[in-house]
Amino acid sequence: TLSACGGDGASADDGTITMGFAQVGAESGWRTANSASIQDSAEEAGIDLKFTDAQQKQENQIKAIRSYIQQDVDVISFSPVVETGWDAVLQEAKRAGIPVILTDRAVDTEDESLYVSFLGSDFVAEGEKAGQWLVDNAGDMDVDGDGDINVVELQGTTGAAPAIDRKEGFESVIESDPTISIGASQTGDFTRDGGKQVMEAFLQSEDGIDVVYAHNDDMGLGAIEAIEAAGLVPGEDIKIITIDAVKDGMTALADGKINYIVECNPLLGPQLMDLAQKVIDGEEVPRRVVTEETTFTQEQAAEALPTREY
């Protein structure tokens, strides 16, 4: 009785759209803002949202998606914790006639028919912006004055699109400056605690760290704790570049503890609900929707903070 591509169960009675959303977890300030945005916008759009938190585990996300298929929701959306390993469960959704919209993170698949649209940031561009700022400010970045800029990198969750792409984008730009190199690189799982622990280890193992490049604010904030505990001044003795621009990150930037932040917008809820409605109505939607984003220096952070939403 309903449109060809919507599920046929949950919305059959009163026209209410049911969405199953499998969230990555609650690992960062970005994720908290993202979850709130999705929940608030579903309510505003009158969409019945089933929401699960996978605690950064792919098997939990797959379980959640299977349960949404079983409940015959109208549309499934999720932010894949890692890029690979989704084909089987997405085939099941396809067989059940339930459209899938990816948000935030992409999947790596050969079969384009497994999802209708992907809404999220360009993570390679974010890494490039971080690298470009470092290259442009290289004159101030050789903190220990040994002629080389030694960067340590705090990577996001291993296998996650933003970790892979932010590394790639950054590396492709710093290549142009032979004085810049990445001396050590390890995952901090996008968490504050992870960033702190990895930075503690780097401070022991690495000589002459000039710059920290953290794939998100939370790991950068953890690194700040480790740097301060070692008796050094973050933002001065060690320069810090991060990605996200959530409130705690922006506050540290305005306070001079972080030197530069590349923005990644978590407020994907309104656009997601819009896409879902269109898909259910049988309208054409773009395969890829890229979020618009900016960057912040310390001065710009101080200016933006009072009106920042998250």
Q: Which is nearer to ligand GYE, 227 or 243 (CB)?
A: 243
For ligand GYE, which residue of 17, 19, 31, 141 counts as binding (CB under 6 A)? 31
Q: Which two tokens stand for residue 30?
A: 């970005």
How far is CA 61 from each of CA 26, 47, 81, 222, rounded to the nearest angstrom? 13, 21, 8, 27
For the record, the structure tokens of 77 come out as 């959306």
Q: Which residue, chain included where needed, has tokens 């800029």?
A: 149
**Ranges within 124-183 binding ligand GYE (CB under 6 A):** 162
Q: Binding string to ligand GYE for residues 57 to 96, with x set by CB under 6 A, is what?
A: ----------------------------------------
Binding window for ligand GYE (CB under 6 A); candidates: 22-30, 43-51, 89-97, 168-176: 22-30
Q: Identify which of residues 102 and 275 has a Cβ nearer to ligand GYE in the complex.
A: 102
How far the first Cα of the chain sits from its last, in Å, is 41
Per CB under 6 A, the segment of 25-33, 42-50, 200-208, 267-275 that binds ligand GYE is 25-33
- Residue 256 in tokens: 């001079």
Query: Exactly one of 30, 68, 115, 170 binds ligand GYE (CB under 6 A); which one?
Result: 30
In this structure, are residues 191 and 218 in contact, taking their beta carbons and an 8 Å threshold? yes
Q: How far is the CB of 101 from ligand GYE (least distance, A)?
A: 15
**Among residues 98 and 164, whose Cβ is nearest to ligand GYE?**
164
User: Which residues neighbour 29 within 8 Å (Cβ) at sequence distance 6 or greater?
Assistant: 217, 218, 244, 246, 247, 248, 249, 310
Q: Which lies closer to ligand GYE via its Cβ, residue 115 or residue 190?
A: 190
Dist CA 82 CA 5 (whole Å): 27
Among the listed residues 11, 18, 23, 28, the single contact to ligand GYE using CB under 6 A: 28
- Smaller CB separation from ligand GYE, 215 or 257: 215
Per CB under 6 A, contacts with ligand GYE among 230-269 are: 243-244, 264
Work out how close the CB of 282 gets to ligand GYE at its nearest, in angstroms, rounded to a whole number.
Answer: 30
- Spatial neighbors of 119 by CB under 8 A, at least 6 apart, are 101, 102, 103, 104, 268, 271, 272, 275, 289, 291
Closest CB to ligand GYE among 18 and 115? 115
Q: Considering only CA atoms, which of 113, 233, 104 is closest in space to residue 156?
A: 104
Site string for ligand GYE, 89-108 (x = CB under 6 A): ---------------xx---
Of the candidates 76, 8, 80, 67, the residue with the CA atom closest to the CA atom of residue 47: 76
Structure tokens at 125: 């561009």
47 token code pair? 């969409």
- Residue located via tokens 């497994």: 114
CB of 49 to ligand GYE, least distance (A): 19
Binding site for ligand GYE (CB under 6 A): 27-28, 30-31, 104-105, 162, 190, 216, 218, 243-244, 264
